[in-house]
Amino acid sequence: MRRSAAKFVPPGLPIVRSVEALRGTLAGWRRDGRRIGLVPTMGSLHDGHLALVRRGLEAGEAVVVSIFVNPTQFGPNEDFSAYPRSEAEDAAKLEAIGAHLVWAPPVDAMYPPHFSSYVSVEGLTDGLDGPHRPGHFRGVATIVSKLLLQVLPDTAYFGEKDYQQLQVIRRLVRDLDIPVVIAGVPTVRDPDGLALSSRNLYLTPEERKIAATLPMVLAETTEAAAAGIASFPELLRAARAALAEAGFGSIDYLQICDAETLAPVDRLDRPARIFVAIRLGRTRLIDNMPIGR
């Protein structure tokens, strides 16, 4: 019988950097009957990441947090080299809340020489972020598949802020028969409503004030859509105008989509969400909210 990991506290917080060391540690946990949870991250941890860890701890699992800035999910003009890295601070945060292990592999452990095997999920990646970040979801699907196979967790936790990513991972797990439960965790927000993101660090103080308008506009739009106040195209036009007036830059997309298939919808006859990707200074903000829930 598998035991709860709620009181399982290893000495210090182990940080492992080889697949062999990872599997050796996890094999011992499994022999002890412990359930394992996985929280994949790229580091620069904030309260949104920690909420995922806490969810695993609350479930009584021994929680592994991966920290790996994945090069294959960044495009040529994106911020891979500048992406914030703070392993020591991240480890301190994780140890403080009771995480059990950090999996922090070097790049060559994840992508050895002549690496040539990738995972692609079609359909779900055709819209929203897909056209704007070519290759991004192939990189995400590949690295998440590797992490799931390396850790073999009972549960893996992902935030709903990256909702398209969450749906892609759910689909690949289903399609490839990977034996893991994918748990979505609601978006964690600052008191003014802005979704927590490592990239919020790029915002200037003035941009940060403007950014708080984004969740307000999304919430107003979802409420109006649920109430049937106007057609979806009318509501989206009004939202675009409000964001432009607030001082935002270009919009990559602002759409209402089916919550499962991510296909655009024009009426509320199924679970739906509003999705946005928008520029503010040099920062690209993404967010989404459910409609009528």
Q: Where are the alpha helices (DSSP H) in 232-293?
A: 232-246
Environment class of 83 (CB within 10 Å of its CB; exposed 0-12, middle 13-18, buried 19+): middle
Assigned token pair, 247: 């001082």
Q: What is the C-alpha separation between 137 and 120, in angstroms, rounded?
A: 7
Query: What residues pair up with 284 in beta bridges, in sequence order?
Result: 279
Q: Dihedral, CA atoms, 166, 167, 172, 174, nearest 10 degrees? A: 110
In 3D space, the residue among 214, 191, 222 whose CA is nearest the CA of residue 293 turns out to be 222
- Contact between 8 and 100 under an 8 Å Cβ cutoff? The reply is yes
Could you identify the residue written with the tokens 């009004």? 238
Q: What is the C-alpha separation between 158 and 53, in angstroms, rounded?
A: 10
10 Å Cβ neighbour count for 140? 25
Residues 6+ apart with CB under 8 A from 289: 215, 218, 219, 222, 273, 274
> Angle, nearest 10°, between helix axes 136-151 and 163-175?
60
Catalytic positions, please? 49
Could you identify the residue written with the tokens 């106007």? 230
> Angle, nearest 10°, between helix axes 87-97 and 47-58?
40
